Structures are given as C-alpha cells and as structure tokens.
Amino acid sequence: MPNPIDTLFSKFRAVKRKAFIPFVPAGDPDLATTAQLVRALAKSGAALVEIGFPYSDPIADGAVIQASYTRALARGLRIDDIFRQIGPLAAELSIPLVAMASFSLVHHRGAERFIEQASNAGFSGAIVPDLPIDEAGELGRLAAARDFKLIHLVTPTTPPERAAQIARSSTGFLYVVSVTGITGERAQLPPEIIQQLDWLRGQASVPLCVGFGISKPEHVHMLRDHADGIIVGSALVRRLEQAGSKPEPRDIDAIADLGKELVDALNG
C-alpha cells in the first residue's frame, strides 16, 4: 500500500490541483482543540496537515509559533500525549498527517522508536528542520524501512550543490523555505522564490511545497503556478492565540475559513 503522501500528490497531479498544507501546533491550548482544528481544516480543504511537536528551543520558528509551543509545554504536554491524541484522529481523517519535530526530540526518544510510534499513531512522515542532510542518513534509512517519509528543507541561502543533494534526498515532498530567517507572516514574498522553485523543479523528483511567510491570497497567487503546495502556519496560529485559552466553535470556524480562502486562491 503506497504512502498516503505519495497517493495524495499523485491524485492532485492528475487533476492539476495544488495542496494546501496548514501547520497546527499540538496542545495549544490543549489537545482537544488541536483535534478540533485539524478536523475543521480538513473540511475546509486542507490536503495534508503538519502537526508541530512543541520544543523549548526551536531554531526556525518565529515569535508566534514559539509562544504557542511555550504555552503547550507550560501545561505539561508530552510526546506520548500527542501520539495518543493523534492515533484516533488520524484514523477518522482521509488526509495524511506529518509531524514537525526537532531532531533533539527524535534523538532523545531514539530514532527507531520515534518513527515506529509516529507511524503507529497515523503519521505518514516527518519534517525534522534542524537535521543537516549530512547527518540524516540513519534516520532516512529507518524511515524508508517503514515507508515513512522524511521531508527535508531547502532555504534561499542553501548553496546550489547542497540544495540539489537535499532535493534528491527528500521523500514525500521537498519543503522550500521562501524567505531568509524564521517563520512568520510577511507583507511580501521575495520574487526570487519563483526562480528558485523553477530551478529546484529540475533537481527534485518529489513535489515542491513552499512555506514561511505565506499568509494571504496574494502570496498564493504568486506561487501556485510554480509549486505543488503551500504551507501556512503563523497566520493560523496567530488567530488561535487571539482566541485565548478556551477557543469557541466560532474561533475554530474563523481559522478554517481562512484556510478555505487560501484553498480557493490556490485552486480557483
């Protein structure tokens, strides 16, 4: 049985559809809300959802996501809690889930055990943003043995030779970082991202999905003819933060409505 991520992009490619991939931090303000939000985003047209594993010292996340992680950790969230919540949720969804986790979390648990638990909980792959490609061999082999996708990142400052190596090594899709720096909403995306995507298209055999800074339809319109998907995090998490410690159904609906607006811009 093929990995759900491969199935998704194969199906989307056949109908010339692009993937909207929202990022949801686990446990903010609680795991029940996380599940509600994932369900709502799936109904609004999300093709795949990234679940962020809170970590005390993220290296690429901006203030909005860092604050979300801090709130979740302050309430005592643990990795096992995430796996317990995601298992039943993944079983009811028809879209893949991907874990976004620091390598420190993977290493501390043990790479083989982490992949086994993530796979058993219904995750189809993982993004490990702080794992250098030169050190990813063992994790990549363990992931491949379970057909668990290991998704790598390319940034605007990655040298071409290294970017080509990362593109060849990534499975599931290639995460293309659109801006230099950390996550967070941007007024504009750099025009150079289009040239980068077109170049990477010739290097990668997997789909290209763009993240960092994307928050509005204008960004989506700029990218949709050059990428296979867009990844949106801070714009959604900021609205979750504004909802406070007890989001109401209308708060979840408002976040899902933003997701639908971006889906429509992507495939309209």
Write down the pLDDT at residue 20.
Answer: 98
Split at pLDDT 50, 70, 90, the class of 205 is very high
Q: What integer is the mean pLDDT of 119-131?
A: 97
Q: What digits encode the pLDDT tens for the residues 145-194?
A: 999 999 999 999 999 999 999 999 999 999 999 875 444 444 467 788 99
For a pLDDT cut of 70, what percent of the chain falls above it? Answer: 95
d(C-alpha 209, C-alpha 219), whole Å: 13
Split at pLDDT 50, 70, 90, the class of 245 is confident
d(C-alpha 205, C-alpha 218), whole Å: 27
b/e 165-185 (16+ beta carbons within 10 angstroms → b): bbbebbbbbbbbbbbeebbbb
Q: What digits encode the pLDDT tens for the residues 33-68?
A: 999 999 999 999 999 999 999 998 766 556 888 899
The fourth-level CATH superfamily of domain 4-267 is: Aldolase class I (3.20.20.70)
d(C-alpha 207, C-alpha 120), whole Å: 25
Q: Rounded to two decimals, what is the model's pTM?
A: 0.94
List active site positions: 50, 61
